[in-house]
Structure 1
Amino acid sequence: MRGLLLAAVMLGTVSTAHAADMPDLPILRGGFTDGLSKSSVNWDGFYVGGQFGYATTEMDFSRAPKSMTDFMLRDSILQAPVGGWSLLPKNHVQATGFGAYVGRNWQFYDAVMGVEANYSYMNNLGSTASDSMTRLIAGETAPTNHLYTYNTTLGGGAALQLKDYATFRGRIGWSGGDFMPYAFGGLAIGRADVSRFATVSYLKYDDFTDPNTGVTTRTTIGSGTMTQTEQRVNSFIYGWTGGIGIEYALLDCVILRGEWEHVGFSNAKNISVNLNNFRVGAGYKF
């Protein structure tokens, strides 16, 4: 009996000594998180930053003279056909810009939601267009053997320079450790200098066909010229914005970002503006 007790004591001593030499792995303490989980950035909080971008912009001047010609030719037979002419082209322009942003993030596990105000100053982002065209327009009902026509010429031009714009947007992202991809959308307001002019001139013809000889004779029985010019400095234009981006936490408080932003503005004097802004930036998170 004493032999069995002595053997049990010796085995217990050996087991205890062996267990003391084994590594202290987290799995042996009943958990997997301590020492094995990946590091994660806390994106929650306020942040500010600066940015630099390159924008490609489409300015559609084709309908710029329309409201002016509608007014000048109101209640006339020329209003509808002249108002439908696409006189001016669409221009594509590029420019650089810089700005700043400020925002607030709220983090829920791996989801990050936030709001942000963003300002961009554009460097010489503007374009101009001008042209003229002439068409023969059928006139009002004429007496028998007569035909009224209008030889009408429309000339015009327009210019727009987008000085700067601000966006107010909400965004949602996913925390992937040091990286956070995100998408955003919201409202935009821009400041632009806009000008345009339109000139309409016409010659009214009376083509008389002699019923006896069949010979047609043209006579000019009327003419007219009308011009209108408009110019506005610091005109506010409104629109929407949307895009995607990614942020990288260089340090706990230093955040780098790259993003693509699309902005669509409402018409300014019948000129539409759409831009795509590709930007890089750096910010500080409090």
Structure 2
Amino acid sequence: MRRLLLAAAMLGTVSAAHGADMPDLPILRGSFTDGLSNSSHNWDGFYVGGQYGFATTDIDFSHAPKSMTDFMLRDSILQAPVGGWSLLPKNHVQSTGFGAYVGKNWQVYDAVMGVEANYSYMDNISSTASDAMSRILPGETAPTGHTYTYNTTLGGGASLKLKDYATFRGRVGWDGGDFMPYGFAGLAIGRAEVSRFAIVSWQKYDDFDEPVVSGGVTTTVHRHLPAGSDTLSRTEQRTNSFMYGWTAGIGVEYAFCGNFLLRGEWEHVGFSNVKDITVGLNNFRAGLGYKF
């Protein structure tokens, strides 16, 4: 028995000594996954940059004359129907642009939150439209046996040039190491040169049946007689009209050479109408920035 106990003690001593000489590998400490994880980039702080992009823009002129015709035909039977006419088309234009941005990020674990001011100057987002249309419209209540109608013609045109715009947006991103995908949303303000004109002309007619006696025979003759006319016109032009709206989009940034940032993003901007003209654009752009 004493020999068996002595052999067991010697075996334990040799095992302990052998374990002490083994290398200190991460897998033996339970940290093997830490050794394979990606290093995280620090996105926290201020940043600035410049950008260049390509924009596709829809300019909707369809109701551009509306507020002018509403004023010219105010309190008349023609105001509502003429104001609802879609006289002009929606035009699609394309242009390049460039600008700059500045912002600040706050990082909490892998989440990156920030605010940014962004400015874009557009090279040539401009479009013009003009057209004319005529309709016969019912008139006001007439005396018994009579019917009033208006042969009405609306002509008009409009032009708009978007000079530049700025956005103020918040964004949320995810720290993917050297990459950060993000989404953003915020407010937009644009500056445009706008002009438009409208011409409304109408001829009023009185329709009625009149009995005519000829040679002792009475016949009924339909009369279609002019009962008044007018031509009205109005023109407006603004060198700097401000448009307000919203923006939203997605993008991705790549950090390289320390604090340099390369970005690509898609931005949609929707502006409320200016002079009854609405503008919506999609901007695809690339940027280069630096984080302090």
The bucket for the TM-score relative to the shorter chain is over 0.9
Distance in 2 of aligned mates of 1:57 and 1:269: 17
Can you give the 5+ residue segments of structure 2 that lack an aligned partner in the other structure? Answer: 212-217
Aligned Cα root-mean-square deviation (Å): 2.3
> 1:1-286 to 2 correspondence within 5 Å?
12=13, 16=17, 19-20=20-21, 22-29=22-29, 31-32=31-32, 35-211=35-211, 212-286=218-292
| TM superposition shift of 1:223 | 1.1
For residues 216 and 168 of structure 1, the distance between their equivalents in structure 2, rounded to whole angstroms, comes to 66
Native 8 Å contact 1:145 1:210 kept in 2:
no
Matched position secondary structure for 1:59:
strand
Instruction: Provide the C-alpha distance between the structure 1 equivalents of 2:236 and 2:275, rounded to a whole number of angstroms.
Output: 9
State the alpha-carbon separation in 2 of the partners of residues 69 and 11 from structure 1: 103
SS at match of 2:219: coil
- The 3 A distance-change label for structure 1 pair 18 and 149 is closer
Note the C-alpha offset of 1:245: 0.8
Q: What is the CA-CA distance between 1:8 and the residue it aligns to?
A: 6.4
Name the aligned partner's letter for residue 164 of structure 1: D
The superposition leaves residues 225-273 of structure 1 with CA deviations (integer Å, 9 ceiling, x where unpaired) of 0000000011111000001111111232011111111101011000011
Distance 1:75 1:38 in 2: 71
Per the normalisation by structure 2, the TM-score is 0.90
Q: Shift in Å at residue 179 of structure 1?
A: 1.1
**For residues 210 and 6 of structure 2, what CA distance do their matches in structure 1 show?**
143
Deviates more, 1:75-84 or 1:190-199: 75-84
Deviation at residue 112 of structure 1 after TM alignment: 0.5
- CA distance in 2: counterparts of 1:186 and 1:104, whole angstroms: 15
8 Å CA contact 1:41, 1:252 repeated in 2? no
Identical pairs, percent? 74
Alpha-carbon offset, residue 222 of structure 1: 1.0
| DSSP-derived class of the 2:168 partner | strand
Letter in 2 for 1:226: L
Whole-angstrom CA distance in 1 between matches of 2:202 and 2:15: 114
Unaligned runs of 5+ in 1: none
Normalising by the residue count of structure 1, what TM-score does the alignment of the two structures yield?
Answer: 0.92
In structure 1, distance between residues paired with 2:19 and 2:185 = 62
Quick one: which amino acid aligns to residue 286 of structure 2?
V
